[in-house]
Amino acid sequence: MKKIKIIFIVIGLLIGIVLLDTIQAKMFNNRPIFSIHKEQNSGTYLYVDEGLFVRHYNCPFDKEKTVFNFEKYICPLDSNSSIDFYISKDKNPSQKFKVYYDSKQKIYITTNIKEFYIIDKADQKKETLKFFISHVFQTFDDSIKDITEQLNLEAILKDGGTKIYRSKDKDITLITCNTIDGNRDVYIGDYSLKNNSKMCK
């Protein structure tokens, strides 16, 4: 009987410690002390500390967030960016490419995307990506960088440095070619777009 009481006391103390740890983590946006540390090589966070009831995200741009395990959370990307963007899609499921922007560096966009819109955060003015690249006072590469900084870098290919960016939240895949042969074109599709041998040629 005495042993059972001791077991219950120990269990009670452990539960109390875990609950206190959970409360301090959530209230003060700290990582739970009793947690498993997991590094992230790609995606939206650098690492996460997973506790019994909460998990603590360490995000890019010095941002941290503690959430309950039942909550869905995605780290914010570059909050300092002056633009936002989104795509409007067609019902056409085809992912054939069409030339969207034709210059020294081309942009190819899949036929299931009607338009790629850029939004100026300052005045909420909306314009097309084509207009944005043509009229903004910066290079083509810098204009594309404004977008890729808000996407997740998923892969760097061994063809010279072609990069594949994605965002499930924005339903976008963006591929910036950087081949040994000098191809610097850009390919844009929805999140399901996969790289293939016909791209960046």
Reported as a single tens digit per residue, the pLDDT across 160-189 is: 889 999 998 899 999 999 999 999 999 999
Same domain, 61 and 88: no
Same domain, 91 and 164: yes
152 within 8 A of 170, measured Cβ to Cβ: no
In a domain? residue 35: yes
Claim to verify: residue 87 and residue 161 sit in the same structural domain: yes
Residue 200 in any domain: the answer is no
> For 23-37, 48-62, 141-155, which range has the lowest pLDDT when averaged over its residues?
48-62
Rounded to whole angstroms, the Cα distance separating 132 from 100 reads 13
Structure tokens at 118: 């850029």
pLDDT for res 44? 56
Residue 150 has pLDDT above 60, yes or no: yes
Q: What's the pLDDT tens digit per position in 31-42?
A: 888 888 887 644
Residues 184 and 88 occupy one common structural domain: yes
pLDDT at 40: 62
Please identify which residue in the block is written with the tokens 């700290």.
30
Instruction: Report how far residue 60's alpha carbon sits from residue 77's, in angstroms, rounded to the nearest whole number.
Output: 7
Enter the DSSP assignment of 30. Answer: P
* Boundary (domain end) residue, out of 68, 91, 115: 68
Q: Is the pTM of this model over 0.75?
A: no
d(CA 177, CA 196): 12
Q: Give the Cα separation of 19 and 22 in Å (integer).
A: 5
For Cα atoms 44, 47, 53, give the angle at the middle one, nearest 5 degrees.
105
146, part of any domain? yes
Q: What range defines the domain where residue 39 resides?
A: 2-68
What mean pLDDT is predicted for residues 15-26? 89
Is position 153 within any domain? yes
Q: Which of 68, 96, 124 is the last residue of a domain?
A: 68
Could you tell me if 63 and 141 lie in one domain?
no
Residues 135 and 179 in one domain: yes
**Structurally, how many domains does the chain consist of?**
2
Q: What 3-state class would DSSP assign to 63?
A: strand
Cα separation of 57 and 49, whole Å?
7
| Structural domain contains residue 76 | no
Q: Is 62 helix (H, G, I), strand (E, B) or coil?
A: coil
* 105-121 residues labelled b (16+ CB within 10 A) or e (exposed): bbbbbbebbeebbbbee
Other CB atoms within 10 Å distance of the CB of residue 176: 21
- Give the C-alpha distances (Å, rounded to integers) separating 190 from 34, 76, 90, 103: 39, 20, 11, 23
pLDDT in tens, 67-117: 998 887 777 655 567 888 999 998 777 778 999 999 899 999 999 999 999
Residues 129 and 168 occupy one common structural domain:
yes
- Tell me: do 57 and 88 sit in the same domain: no
Same-domain status, 19 and 91: no
Rounded Cα distance, 32 and 64, in Å: 13
Per-residue pLDDT at 79: 55
- What does the pLDDT read at residue 118? 93
Contact between 34 and 52 under an 8 Å Cβ cutoff? The reply is yes
Instruction: Specify if 28 maps to a domain.
Output: yes
Point out the domain boundary residue: 38, 68, 98.
Answer: 68
